Amino acid sequence: MTDSPTAEAPTTTAGQASRPYSPGLEGVIAGETTLSYVDGANGRLLYRGYRIGDLVERGTYPAVANLLWTGDWDPAHRLPTAPVPSAVLTVLRAMPSDAKPMDALRTAVSAWGATQELPWPPTVEQARALTAFSPSALAAFARLRSGKEPIDPDPSLDLIAGYLYQLTGERAEEGTVRALDAYFIVGAEHGFNASTFTARVITSTRSDIASAVVGAIGTMKGPLHGGAPTEVVDQLAQVGSAEHAEEWIRETLARGERLMGFGHRVYRAYDPRAAALRKVAEGMEHKPDWLKLATEVEDVALRVLAEKHPDRPLRTNVEYYAAPVLMGVGLSPDLFPATFSLARHAGWTAHALEQAANNRLIRPDVNYVGSEERDLPR
């Protein structure tokens, strides 16, 4: 018996060496899109050409979602939340009350998909229906886990006001709705991030739009993607005061841990979404007490990160200022990642439409780095 291939047999890794490989697919162009332009070097983000700052100032999430789905800018476009089908409610009622909201949302979308006709190719109507359903489902779970009954949608409310109403049972103030709307707008779309790429891979197999969003939610659940704002809150609680910031940051980095809300695969300049949300957070009526602490810690963190990584600009990302906005509108921190997922529904579903419109199965190659061909041990 031998571990080496026979002289005549082809080696299993032949022909691979010349093929380029980029770990994490960093820098690899894996598709084309007209939906958003993430200009990492200059800190610009455009949705269908429009600047994110302008969309936050003058748009609403339903108008932005419609822009992504159709290419048309209609600032008056409305999208009320949709009712939760009874089969989905049954599933949500069966979830343990300590289930993670991301797990509940992923499960709800999966159950919703089973109640719908979702033929290929996906349509704008399917995208709208799913985007309108998910806030109701998450709000229903949030109430059920604390022993309260879900609240039916109020069709007179637009999506953000409707979500808050179904969470709390009360009509939110205009300023609160505007702040959360801004958060949803900046979270709506962001190129080929990991969850969107997942949605496109699933769509490329001609699977349905609900499956694409279920996979995307699973991808976003990871702390390197969508879990950061909750951790920003924990992080600031641990820092406690501006005087302790430098010591805490240095100790954290010395342990090899990362500062949540900093760094980005694409942005080397300040994340324009963080800039837009910082403005919103500072203008909020009910600012969380630690917004001041957050801005002070940010200055120290940027200085220390620049010192530690002089060749790799690590700047504030969207999640850092998402935390004060979401706290300010009264959401519990464990709902942050799932609320981010609600916002990203517009982008995920728009990418599903774009992928389907010019579909090619996404199926890359892999370099085999295992054992050469060999005989099984006798």
Q: Report residue 289 CA to chain centroid gap.
A: 26
CB of 255 to ligand ACO, least distance (A): 11
DSSP assignment letter at 24: G
Q: By CB under 6 A, is residue 318 in contact with ligand ACO?
A: yes
Q: Are 213 and 351 in contact (CB under 8 A)?
A: no
Q: By CB under 6 A, is residue 314 in contact with ligand ACO?
A: yes
Lookup result for tokens 């979401």: 326
- Longest distance between any two alpha carbons in the chain, whole Å: 77
Nearer to ligand ACO, 225 or 345 (CB): 225
Q: CA torsion angle for 166, 170, 176, 180 (degrees, to 10)?
A: 0
Tokens (6 digits) for 203 = 């769509």
Nearer to ligand ACO, 162 or 324 (CB): 324
Q: By CB under 6 A, is residue 41 in contact with ligand ACO?
A: no
Q: By CB under 6 A, is residue 262 in contact with ligand ACO?
A: yes
- Which residue has the CB atom at the shortest distance from ligand ACO? 263
Q: By CB under 6 A, is residue 319 in contact with ligand ACO?
A: yes
CB atoms within 10 A of CB 222: 14
* Beta bridge mates, 38: 45
State the Cα–Cα distance between residues 198 and 201, nearest whole angstrom.
Answer: 5
- Residue 251, exposed/middle/buried by CB under 10 A (0-12, 13-18, 19+)? exposed
CB of 92 to ligand ACO, least distance (A): 26
Q: Which of 189, 231, 319, 354 does the annotation list as catalytic?
A: 319
**Per-residue contact track with ligand ACO, 161 to 200, x per CB under 6 A?**
----------------------------------------
251 is catalytic: no
State the Cα–Cα distance between residues 83 and 133, nearest whole angstrom.
Answer: 6
**Helix/strand/coil for 195:** helix
Q: Which of 77, 264, 345, 351 does the annotation list as catalytic?
A: 264
* Strand order across the 44-47 sheet: 36-39, 44-47, 50-51
Report which secondary-structure segment, H or E, holds 275. helix 272-283
Among 106, 264, 315, 345, binds ligand ACO (CB under 6 A): 264
Q: Which stretch binds ligand ACO (CB under 6 A): 83-91, 239-247, 276-284, 310-318?
A: 310-318
CB of 347 to ligand ACO, least distance (A): 11
**Per-residue contact track with ligand ACO, 211 to 230, x per CB under 6 A?**
-------------xx--x--
Q: Which stretch binds ligand ACO (CB under 6 A): 45-53, 85-93, 288-296, 307-315?
A: 307-315
Q: Which stretch binds ligand ACO (CB under 6 A): 77-85, 117-125, 156-164, 306-314?
A: 306-314
Q: By CB under 6 A, is residue 258 in contact with ligand ACO?
A: yes
351 is catalytic: no
State the Cα–Cα distance between residues 142 and 149, nearest whole angstrom.
Answer: 10
Residues 6 or more apart in contact with residue 275 via CB below 8 angstroms:
43, 53
Please work out the total of residues on this chain that contact ligand ACO, with binding judged by CB under 6 A. 18
Q: By CB under 6 A, is residue 259 in contact with ligand ACO?
A: yes
**Helix/strand/coil for 37:** strand
Q: Interface with ligand ACO by CB under 6 A: which residues?
A: 224-225, 228, 253, 258-265, 309, 312, 314, 317-319
Active-site residue list: 264, 319
